[in-house]
Amino acid sequence: MTTTDAAAAADAHTAAADAHTPAASPVPAPLDGAKLKADFPLLTREINGQPIVYLDSAATSQKPHSVIAAMSDYYDRYNANVHRSAYFIAEQATTQTELARQKVRRFIGAAHTEEIIFTKNATEALNLVVNSWGRTNLANGDAVLLSLLEHHSNIVPWHILSAERNLELRWIPVGDDFQLDLSNLDELLEGVKVVAISAMSNVLGTLPPVSAIAEAAHERGAVVVCDACQFVPNRVCDVASLGADFVAFSGHKMCGPTGIGVLWGRRELLEEMPPFLGGGEMILDVSTEGFLPNTLPWKFEAGTPPIAEMVGLGAAVDYLSGVGMEAIAAYEEDLVAYAQKTLKDKFGDDIAIHGPADGPRGGSISFAYRDIHPHDVSQILDQYGVCVRAGHHCAKPLMKHLGAQATARASLYLYNTREDIDCLAEALSKASEIF
């Protein structure tokens, strides 16, 4: 089966699914986090004799039975390479991976399947943009605008290119309210060729106004690159409404496996970009004189892809779609509000929460507790089965702005409950006794 045939088969399968998909309810049904927890096998474990309380989903989410089963089914029943052979299980593998691409397209509201590029993670997706689009379109002295909220994956590739091209890197600051300070956005955008912006901070939970920033950037002819790693798993994502030209996210943060990421890009931009990697699959022809690259999306998917991971990501999209992204967002908003109130009521001025105090925000709650080092806080919480991250969260420019070397971070997801937050608060109180 050719890549085109497989894509056509997946298109037909998805069109049939679209026809039988009921319209989304305008009011999301209440979500039962305790019930959903049963779908995730790891969450039945005990740590140090305590039921596990997993509060690190901003780093990686847990995986439901359905995702694990889908990947196991691939290995058990149709393990073969894709886009290369005509025998039955190879055709089945090809169809399933292209079906996963269709599922992702629908999930993020993309208009064209060929705009969905599979990568090994969001970091590779962002590097693809910088190394293909950036090297083609940016020259010495060109300006790039980033925000202080960015993860290193949306900073370091620009630094690398800047070292070669002498780019001017500008920064959107963060205000005392933990929101982006856009008061001088017009000045910052003057002469800018590209804007790199996060849709949700992995440290603060801040939700920048990406669509408004993108609109202002486009008025000046700039291209917008969006890191949506935290946004896509937790909010309804429609790339047309988001307004960016490129959007990157990872499977492992949205109940899918590690080793799989996605780059969505506007088709006209992707078509103009040169390949990022060379090898098998990304070519139509090769001779001793040169090569002809493949069409989208395979032009950017050199070599054997992460087949089981693509299948697993498709299953994760099915799972999240079944729960409902509107319901997930509403549930997390309530959970975050409960967590902030619980921690402030219990610990008062002993705890400092870095992030918006109210209004829409993501589920990452970064905090400092008294003068106890975040790594010590994390180790104490672990003794009570509570899993949080401690560190700079791959956001050192932001941490410097906050005046912190590190923070502890509890990040919430659809399988967390108010009881988990109560366990966090109770375990955190033990840190006072120890220190």
User: What pLDDT sits at residue 21?
Assistant: 39
User: Which two tokens mark 138?
Assistant: 């940016």
Q: Is the pLDDT of residue 60 over 90?
A: yes
What mean pLDDT is predicted for residues 364-390?
A: 96
Per-residue confidence band for 28, with pLDDT thresholds at 50, 70 and 90: low
Catalytic position from the list 226, 237, 394, 423: 394
Per-residue confidence band for 225, with pLDDT thresholds at 50, 70 and 90: very high
Task: Confirm whether 394 is a catalytic residue.
Answer: yes
Indicate the angle between helix axes 418-434 and 374-382, nearest 10 degrees: 110
More confident residue, 2 or 143: 143
User: What pLDDT sits at residue 11?
Assistant: 54
End-to-end CA distance of the chain: 64
Least reliable range by pLDDT among 14-23, 172-181, 345-354: 14-23
Query: Is 122 within 8 Å of 277 (Cβ atoms)?
Result: no
Asked if the domains 93-322 and 325-434 are classified in one and the same CATH topology, the answer is no
| Domain range annotation of the chain | 93-322, 325-434
| CA–CA separation, 118 and 111 (whole Å) | 16
pLDDT tens string 269-313: 999 999 999 999 999 999 999 999 999 999 999 999 999 999 999
Query: Is 161 within 8 Å of 126 (Cβ atoms)?
Result: no
Name residues whose C-beta falls within 8 Å of residue 371's C-beta, 6 or more positions apart in sequence. none
Per-residue confidence band for 16, with pLDDT thresholds at 50, 70 and 90: very low
Q: Is the pLDDT of residue 24 over 70?
A: no
| CA–CA separation, 57 and 408 (whole Å) | 13
User: What pLDDT sits at residue 27?
Assistant: 53
Q: Is the pLDDT of residue 420 over 70?
A: yes
pLDDT tens string 228-273: 999 999 999 999 999 999 999 999 999 999 999 999 999 999 999 9
User: What pLDDT sits at residue 19?
Assistant: 37
Query: Cβ–Cβ contacts within 10 Å for residue 249, how many?
Result: 25
User: What mean pLDDT value characterizes the chain?
Assistant: 93
The label of the residue with tokens 């290193």 reads 152
Q: Is the pLDDT of residue 22 over 50?
A: no
> Which fold is adopted by the domain 93-322?
Aspartate Aminotransferase; domain 2 (3.40.640)
247 beta partners: 226, 264
Q: Is the pLDDT of residue 118 over 70?
A: yes
Mapped onto helix, strand or coil, the DSSP state of residue 7 is helix
What mean pLDDT is predicted for residues 396-406?
A: 96
Q: Is the pLDDT of residue 110 over 70?
A: yes
What DSSP letter does each residue of 347-375 carry, written as one string?
HGGGEEEES-SSSS--SEEEEEETT--HH
User: Which two tokens mark 193?
Assistant: 């060729």
Q: What is the CATH number of domain 325-434?
A: 3.90.1150.10
What DSSP letter does each residue of 20-82 carry, written as one string?
TPPPPPSSPPPP-HHHHHTT-GGGG-EETTEE-EE-BTTT-----HHHHHHHHHHHHH----S
Q: Is the pLDDT of residue 8 over 60?
A: no
262 beta partners: 118, 249
What mean pLDDT is predicted for residues 21-31?
A: 54
With vertex at residue 33, the alpha carbon angle to CA 353 and CA 333, rounded to the nearest 5 degrees, is: 40
Q: Is the pLDDT of residue 18 over 70?
A: no
With vertex at residue 415, the alpha carbon angle to CA 411 and CA 419, rounded to the nearest 5 degrees, is: 80
